[in-house]
Amino acid sequence: MKRSLETIQYDKKAEALAMYAKALSHPMRVSILNYLENQTCCYTGDLVDVFPLAQSTISQHLKELKNAGLIQGELKPPKIKYCINQENWAIAKELFNRFFD
């Protein structure tokens, strides 16, 4: 049966999937997530040492990932410690798996 736009239901899962996909739409953000997935946590300065980008650029990518809920930051003045948001990371994986299934 051919589906049309009228039969496709917009729901919260589709909204969440689109939000995660947007956050993952830049290769550096994917690289940052891969790096963080293999770390307990790290600071912005650690990422600057790993990736050949300015701290401001890294910070912008971290902001996008944090806004999507894929990472979380903990303020440790004067630094911010980042790590994967495990709950949302699991949800994102499940949504992508269902989408591509």
The answer to whether 41 touches 80, Cβ cutoff 8 Å, is no
pLDDT of residue 36: 94
pLDDT tens for the chain, 101 residues: list them: 454 434 446 688 888 999 999 999 999 999 999 999 998 889 988 999 999 899 999 999 999 999 999 999 998 888 889 999 999 999 999 989 989 98
Per-residue confidence (pLDDT) for residue 2, from 0 to 100: 52
What are the boundaries of each domain within the chain?
Answer: 12-100
pLDDT at residue 101, as a whole number: 85
Instruction: Tell me the residue ranges of DSSP E strands in 1-101.
Output: 42-43, 71-76, 79-84
Quick one: pLDDT at residue 5? 39
HSE value, Cβ hemisphere, 13 Å, CA-based, for 60: 7
12-100 topology per CATH: Arc Repressor Mutant, subunit A (1.10.10)
